[in-house]
Amino acid sequence: MPLTDLSLEESRGFCPALPEPDDFETFWTGTLGDHRDRPLNVRLTRFDNRQQVTDCWDLGFDGYLGTPVSGWLQVPAGATGPLPLVVQYKGYSSSRKVPFASPFAAAGYAHIVIDPRGQGWAHPTIVDSAGDDGPWGSGSGAPGFMTPHLDDPADHYFRRLYMDAFRALQVGLSLDLVDPSRVALVGHSQGGAQSAAVAGLAAMSGIQLNLACVDSPFLSCIRRCVDLASSGPYLEVVSWLRSHPYLVARAFATLNYFDIMHFVPRARCRTLFSVAMMDGTCPPSSAWAAYNAWGGRPGSGAATATKDITVYPFAQHPAGEDVQTWNQLGLLAKVLGSPVADTAGNR
């Protein structure tokens, strides 16, 4: 795929000033407040993941307005903690998948991976030996989630998704296995958007994070990406607005509440971004914009955070894939410290 966005030189300084909704802060502090006294109702059930290097639990908790969310918790086999925590968010159409040993748990971390609500159409679910669906259900219907309730941000899907993601962080912080002073977030594409949004929400809530890894993020500079994207979920908006041209302004006003460009200036933790310069799904200029605004827009005088970005000049949306995970593991060890934990009762 040819380069269809800004050049690398142009991208390095790209940070458009997107108008924030007048009630953005009120909207999200109100959403956080609506959930402050709602119990998480964490449910952990030991699960045989058929691996010897990690222990696994089927994780459930109450997400947005008490609705159930699923995930996996994996830790090094025999670990009793406290362990540094990595919370991972998944991309659009993805799921928590089959719980094969994760590189994060294998490296010594408590690793939580969360199902994006109602998604999973691109990944198979576990089926038992009789060929019946396991207790996790049979996935979801076909996409998508971009266009329903474009008339009201209060009812839009991404309000639910971001709150699920934030409550997943709270779940991790509540676990006895976890050291709450050593926490990182990881996500690619939609997961990258969740990682960025939760970093902003955590700062608004007084929760300290150590690191957020944001790979090829979705939902940054949404209006620009709808114009530029040649594949992926932004095209859902194009298709819908083709038939509803009179709702263009209202649709983008709603989506503006979920644009990570309004969350990242509030983030205070360290970050590692990645960007694929031939990304037709999430145009690379949008990743650069979020990276440049992280911790405060350039010249704003706001507090800044330590940040780095890995550039993949000829990659498409998956960007660095395993190479980027390798980079993240190196930085996690540096930022969170040694993930040494009690194993079978011995330090």
Active-site residue list: 189, 279, 317
Separation of alpha carbons 288 and 274, rounded Å: 9
